[in-house]
Structure 1
Amino acid sequence: MGRTQTHADSPGALAAAVHEGRIYAAGGVGIDDVTDTFEIYDIEADTWSSGPAMPTAREHLTAAVLDGKFYAIGGRTGNLYSNLRTTEVYDPATNSWEAVTAMPTARSGFGATTLGGVLVVMGGESPNGTNPQVEVYDPAEDAWFALPNLPTPRHGLGVAALGNRIYAAAGGTEPGFFYSDAVEVLTFESASFSRVSRSAETFFCNLPVVSKLLRGSVC
């Protein structure tokens, strides 16, 4: 494998996701300002290429791939008072972006994953503290709805789905450089979403099968 291309002005606080042998990287903050840069890494060829600019420049956004499309969600353009609800989607088939219904809660530094054909976001930071909200985007309806809040509001957390559960790991409990070792789990009746799943059948709970994160706790 050859030497990976790099950029002198590569940004930080960007968002990335992988799909069919490619890594999509969007936004971030560089030396001068936030960026709308969208770049695509071909894993097999070990090369980067520039995609169409993201419509809204931002950093501390989150991203996920759902049904073959790359979603860039939220983020900010400066301090926490510039948090965004913006949700934009890149379609590789058309090599273009479009805006969809905005996320209900403006936030930055949050996590996202997909499960059962929907996009799930949770956590983040805002001017009034860390975010507990868990919100779901259903592309079939172009609509968002709410799920139970995080028991421990956090930003900079890791979020991943496995089976019928979504795991929220670590993150800071206050805006800025704070840390935690909490692991919390959102459980569904199944790994398939439906209108029924938006009710009491979804819940956060302690699960004995979930190991502690280092010396942390579960829920």
Structure 2
Amino acid sequence: RPTATVAVCPFAAIPLDIMHDNVLSYLRYDKPVDNCIFVCGGCSSNSKRSESYLSSVEVYDPYSKAWRRAPSMSGPRVDAAAVFVGGYLYVVGGYRVDFFRPPQPLGCVEMYNPLLHEWQCLASTMQIPRFAHSLAVVDNRYLYAIGGSTRERLVSL
């Protein structure tokens, strides 16, 4: 099992070898949710030839130093962006891989309610589906996807 760690801040590290699925997640997040860190989607693999794309959600609690599972998102996504605002975790964009087609950028937005432990797909979508982007929050209610890629080109707002 891997023994690498992920730096959370200059004073802490999370051991990767205790995650359930050996997840290599491509997810950015703004800050911990309910004092926990959520890892949403990503890809699990032992080699580049046998990748598995994930909709699963893993939660790390730094107080108990333990990982636990949360409900999965509606479908797999890799290289999404996420932010916690107004008591909810929003996961935006990313890409989906179907085995016989090239990666498909996603424009959808999912919202996780940590009190009800459930995900909701929002009607709101990005005008330009993208992955490898960042999210910014303005006035605690507007999400802006910044940068990223559509596979064909880099995008701005």
Unaligned regions of 5+ residues in structure 1, if any? 1-33, 184-219
Q: In structure 1, what is the Cα distance between the partners aligned to 2:112 and 2:19?
A: 19
Q: Provide the secondary structure at the position in 2 that maps to 1:155.
A: coil
Residue pairs, 1:145-156, within 5 angstroms: 145-147=120-122, 148-156=124-132
What's the C-alpha RMSD, in Å, of the aligned pairs? 2.5
- Flag the 1:50–1:137 CA change in 2: closer, same or farther, 3 A: closer
Q: What corresponds to 2:93 in structure 1?
A: 123
Residue pairs, 1:160-175, within 5 angstroms: 160-163=136-139, 164-174=141-151
> When the two structures are superposed, what TM-score results if normalisation uses the length of structure 2?
0.79
CA contact (8 A) 1:60 1:75 kept: yes
Residue pairs, 1:30-69, within 5 angstroms: 37-40=4-7, 43=10, 49=13, 51=15, 53-64=18-29, 65-69=32-36
Structure ID, larger Rg: 1
Q: Which has the higher strand share?
A: 2
Q: Residue 73 of structure 1: CA displacement?
A: 0.9
Summarize deviations over 1:4-44 as a string: whole Å, max 9, x none.
xxxxxxxxxxxxxxxxxxxxxxxxxxxxxx9574444553x
Q: In structure 1, what is the Cα distance between the partners aligned to 2:136 and 2:116?
A: 23
Q: In structure 2, what is the Cα distance between the partners aligned to 1:154 and 1:69?
A: 26
Does residue 73 in structure 1 map to residue 40 in structure 2? Answer: yes
- Flag the 1:156–1:50 CA change in 2: closer, same or farther, 3 A: closer
Number of corresponding residues: 144
Give the % identical residues: 24
Q: What corresponds to 1:97 in structure 2?
A: 67
